[in-house]
Structure 1
Amino acid sequence: MNLSYRPVEEQDIPRICSFPQNEEELFFFFPAATWPLTHEQLRNSIAQRSDSTVIEQDGQVVGFANFYHWATEGTCTIGNVIIDPEARAGGIGGHLIKHMIGIALSKHRAAEVTLSCFNQNVAGLLFYPKLGFTPYAIDERKNKQGERVALIHMRYTRA
């Protein structure tokens, strides 16, 4: 696997916007967005966040993530995680999350890295603990249909 990482660029936005395959996937990736994801919604999110990063496989963007909270020597919270549907279940997500942990620990000297995952996102709930994340809190939220859902917060603590 020939993987590389770099900051997101304007020309990546249309490709990233194509990754969510339906309204539910968009909700998992970017709960505040409305379907379908527009370039403007993604640009606005990137402008308010830190370290928006793409992972490339053989020169093609196949994943995206950033921090929606970052504090030097505190907590960095990973958000907007999404992988190209054609590249899912191939290890790309694990590489991207490990890279984001690396940015948090080296650039921000984070004491911990957190992320959140909705209860309906079974793939995410089974995936993140394999990378060392452990659940620490649950909040009640509403999905786009107004139904009750659980947002499970997970933490990765520097060993």
Structure 2
Amino acid sequence: MITPHRLSHRPAEARDLLIIATFMQSAEELFYSYPKASWPLTPAQVADAIDKRCGSTVVLLNDEVVGFANYYQWQEGLYCALGNVMVAPNARGKGIARHLIMIMEEQARTQLRAKRMRLSCFNGNTAGLLLYSQLGYKPYAIVERETPDGMRAALIQMDKAL
């Protein structure tokens, strides 16, 4: 685990697009973090997500971008919905996602006065489900979705009081 004092964060910028686009190593990973995108993830798709969403944030380790997330829905004073959670392959398993989610929770609470954070996680994303559960997120609905290869998937909707 990387200690939080070695990490920093800032709003995502145009110079980050190419780096973020390399985070997803397979079509399956991309589907889990950005279901509307097509494989392979491109800087243009990342730019589109930033343009259409709110609060796009990167986490840096030694000034290198290693994490990215944003809110795909938000209603000021009520809730934010966390999306596009991505971590660089060489930084996985080191606490980056946990740190990123905590940053996003704090920003939702302070900047958008959100009372709750929502997120959705596909049933096949075991690492995500375990992390979100450890961070206090509770399931409240399951919605059927279709994977890019036409298979059924369960999208587990979760939330947490901030």
TM-score in terms of structure 1 length = 0.97
1:18 is aligned to: 22
1:41 is aligned to: 45
Partner of 2:31, secondary structure, is: helix
2:83 is aligned to: 79
Query: Tell me, which stretches of 5 or more residues in structure 2 are unaligned?
Result: none
Distance apart, 1:63 and its partner CA: 0.2
Separation of aligned partners in 1, 2:84 and 2:76: 20
Q: Does 1:27 align with 2:15?
A: no
Partner of 2:103, secondary structure, is: helix
Distance apart, 1:45 and its partner CA: 1.1
Q: Does 1:9 align with 2:10?
A: no
Separation of aligned partners in 2, 1:62 and 1:116: 21
Distance apart, 1:16 and its partner CA: 0.4
Separation of aligned partners in 1, 2:73 and 2:102: 17
Distance apart, 1:39 and its partner CA: 1.2
Separation of aligned partners in 1, 2:107 and 2:73: 13
Partner of 2:73, secondary structure, is: strand
Distance apart, 1:133 and its partner CA: 0.7
Partner of 1:34, secondary structure, is: coil
Distance apart, 1:121 and its partner CA: 0.4
Partner of 2:143, secondary structure, is: strand
1:59 is aligned to: 63
Correspondent of 1:110 among 102, 111, 114: 114
Deviations 1:105-145 (A, max 9, x none): 11111110011000010110111011111111100000000
Partner of 1:132, secondary structure, is: coil
Q: CA RMSD in A?
A: 0.7
State the one-letter code of the partner of 2:110: S
The alignment covers a number of residue pairs equal to: 158
TM-score in terms of structure 2 length = 0.96
Correspondent of 2:148 among 105, 123, 144: 144
State the one-letter code of the partner of 2:130: L
Separation of aligned partners in 1, 2:78 and 2:68: 23
State the one-letter code of the partner of 2:142: I
Q: State the percentage of identical aligned residues.
A: 47
Deviations 1:56-83 (A, max 9, x none): 0010000000001111111100000000
Separation of aligned partners in 2, 1:104 and 1:50: 10
